[in-house]
Structure 1
């Protein structure tokens, strides 16, 4: 469940259902570009090699800003990836041409590079290059050494003219080796030791508050995110155990215009529901949740995780002193959402600094009657990949080739959330909606023996702030013997004895590993220095 209102890409675009990663060679239909303002895209055989499929790009000349875009399954991270892009271009006419290559993302300033060239005679494929270390800021045309993460690539041929034409493009690349293709059935680590669960088989009535926390505090501004229309409460009307199942019930409380609704924290809403945080957090493992989903237009049930370090006022782990990191830097794993697509079509997603809000790291599955049938929604989260499964069948894998704070905030602890939201980006609520439940049979978290040993020590030490730019403090009930800070090459950068602090203001920004030694206990923490 997206926790922030996404910054949408320009209204000129519609969200594409296709996504791929650099390089783009058009060998499969995944490399499909969306076209706009009278342009058109299709696949066709190479004019010189009929066995090679290429992309055909067509401008009809009706608009000077016709173009084509593709959402990338793995964003381009210009801080670490090669900044020089190239593509192969074939024109059926003898005219000179320009190609503008643009990288876009809701979290960064859009950047672009334009290349001008002459077409060979007779026509032949030519290589066209784009250097994003000498790019333009798309908003004002200023020169910029582009950096940041970009999830959309856009192409304009002869931008600013009304010149019609048909062109072939192939092999769009920046020279980097792509990440391995998704192999969802290749689960690299098996987690088979049950470490935490709730099967809800206790007495009918309230939830187990030793395991779950009701998150009810409204964010600043008086509304939950994404235009949602509910209050979350800790009432047994909205969350309760019944016949061995957890029920999270969304309820219509009456029209505000009629003097009805539910009031809390100075605001009145027409709907109530519940949002539960687990009082258990973990790093790596398998999560299985068996659930039936609520029915009715506008219902938005979610099973998901957030980083334990999220600085969200009112979240359980924030109230316990762990709130050091804003969203999406904390990471978010959406194990199941329903209501963002068609009826019975559930979705999964990952939100990271490299792709958040309207993330490109997402997939959907069409299931049978999710309101009346139980399905098991799962993730298998290892140090190398996150595999999503439904009813024990894997269908989507997140495995970025470059794992850093932009793409992979998933080597720190996450906790579980269960909730049913109403409205917002889930769409218009059925005017006849009365109430409906998400019914959960069980929640199970599995790890293996090595991870269990690590998790036992995970709460011995707190490190704050993180990210940091001056002084890092380690909090523990145990005496700290030594702190050592290593860079990602394993080189010792700082060392302090018998101290709970270590100064980082004199070292370069980046990711570091802090090793904490206290008696026989040794723990490592990832530190981000700004």
Structure 2
């Protein structure tokens, strides 16, 4: 017996004329397209943080901020370490086996990236890396520093976020290390307060800090310095508290007496990514008036 062919669905049914159906479909496509476009703008805007405004913290006034959302570094805020003759060179980055070069710095996807790589030879150096400072452009006395960063991971790596006073002759009177990490141990963050030849230091063992971004903070008052990682208190020093205005250094160093030099296990290139730098100063009411406005 032959199969009885079922009639095709009648697209021209009285309840849905062809012209009306086409218009309805067109409207649906336009509506869906608008939704997709809005979602795309939302995702891109969030990804690049268009027009992003840093949070206002109760009791604190934002005095310095860089979200690294532009296409180039803001030279009104930063100095770029440059080992070349005539380049900017800070007082205290003369360690490690790298040559500091501006080409190691780039801005992408709302973050500052410091790239450390191996090269054939550049004036006797086999590695390049990067560093920036706010020396002579911004300094502050007492406040809060929040820096969100993702750190590198390999033998010989030594990234750091730290504060120094203006240049002095001899031993620096004060130094606040917000964060130091040795690439061979990416789960341990070191936090240190130096005064003269003395220091107070603590290590915190956490997750692998090379896998995701984490926020490293210090709150510096005239009586104490407190360290926080992702908002959680990790260390506090009440000795040798700096009473001098200090500037910020962000650097990615390879080698040095503490980190050890790169070896055959070292994997390059490596990246240190900084999402933002925010510095606040206290308003008079914070901490029940115990912090002086500066």
Alignment TM-score, normalising by the size of structure 1: 0.39
Output the CA distance in 1 between the equivalents of 2:157 and 2:140. 29
CA distance in 2, matches of 1:363, 1:340: 17
Match of 2:270 in 1: 436
| Corresponding residue of 2:18 | none
Asked if 1:233 corresponds to 2:77, the answer is: no
**Residue of 231, 234, 259 corresponding to 1:426:** 259
Tell me: CA distance 1:249–1:341, structure 2 relative to 1, closer, same or farther (3 Å).
closer
Matched, 1:364 2:203: yes
Match of 1:392 among 223, 227, 231: 231
| Alignment gaps of 5+ in structure 2 | 1-57, 287-291
Give the TM-score normalised by structure 2.
0.69
Q: Whose strand fraction is larger, Structure 1's or Structure 2's? A: 1
Match of 2:246 in 1: 414
Mapped partners of 2:162, 2:197: distance in 1 = 19
Q: How does 1:222-371 map to 2 (within 5 A)?
A: 225-226=94-95, 228-235=96-103, 238-253=104-119, 260-263=120-123, 268-278=124-134, 279-307=137-165, 309-311=166-168, 325-329=169-173, 331-339=174-182, 342-355=185-198, 359=199, 361-371=200-210
Q: Which has the larger radius of gyration?
A: 2
Q: Does the CA contact (< 8 Å) of 2:157 and 2:183 recur in 1?
A: no
Offset at residue 343 of structure 1 (A): 3.2
Give distance in 1, aligned partners of 2:272 and 2:178.
15
Question: In structure 2, what is the Cα distance between the partners aligned to 1:343 and 1:414?
Answer: 27
Are the equivalent residues in 2 in contact too, given 1:310–1:327 (CA < 8 A)? no
Instruction: Give the structure with the larger helix fraction.
Output: 2
1:441 aligned counterpart, secondary structure: strand
- Pick closer, same or farther for the CA change 1:244–1:291 going to 2, 3 Å: same
Equivalent pair of 1:296/1:430 in contact (CA under 8 Å): no
Kindly report structure 1 stretches of 4+ aligned residues shifted beyond 6 Å.
none
C-alpha distance in structure 2 between counterparts of 1:343 and 1:386, whole Å: 24
Alignment partner of 1:373 is 2:207: no
CA–CA distance in 2 between the matches of 1:396 and 1:239? 31
Q: How many residues align?
A: 222
Partner of 2:15: none
What is the alpha-carbon distance in structure 1 between the residues aligned to residue 157 and residue 182 of structure 2?
6
Counterpart-to-counterpart distance in 2, 1:215 and 1:428: 21
The 8 Å contact of residues 340 and 427 in structure 1, kept in 2 or not, is answered as: no
Match of 2:68 among 175, 195, 200: 200
Is the alpha carbon distance of 1:306 and 1:340 closer, same or farther for their aligned partners in structure 2, counting shifts above 3 Å?
Answer: farther
Q: Please, what is the CA RMSD of the aligned residues? A: 2.5
- After TM superposition, give the deviation of residue 428 of structure 1 in Å: 3.4
CA contact (8 A) 2:97 2:261 kept: no
> Counterpart of 1:100?
none
1:322-356 Cα deviation digits (max 9, x unpaired): xxx43322x1100000107733111011221141x
SS of aligned partner of 1:202: coil
Query: Following the alignment from structure 2 to structure 1, what is the Cα–Cα distance between the partners of residues 255 and 277?
Result: 26
Q: CA deviation at 1:271?
A: 0.9
CA contact (8 A) 1:310 1:326 kept: no
Q: Is the 8 A contact 2:157 2:184 kept in 1?
A: no
Partner Cα separation in structure 2 for residue 375 and residue 242 of structure 1: 18
Question: Secondary structure of the equivalent of 2:75?
Answer: coil
Say if 1:249 and 1:437, in contact at 8 Å, map to a contact too: yes
SS, match of residue 116 in structure 2:
strand
- Unaligned regions of 5+ residues in structure 1, if any? 1-189, 254-259, 312-324, 401-406, 456-530
Distance 2:276 2:81 in 1: 20
The counterpart of 2:80, out of the listed 214, 229, 237, is 214
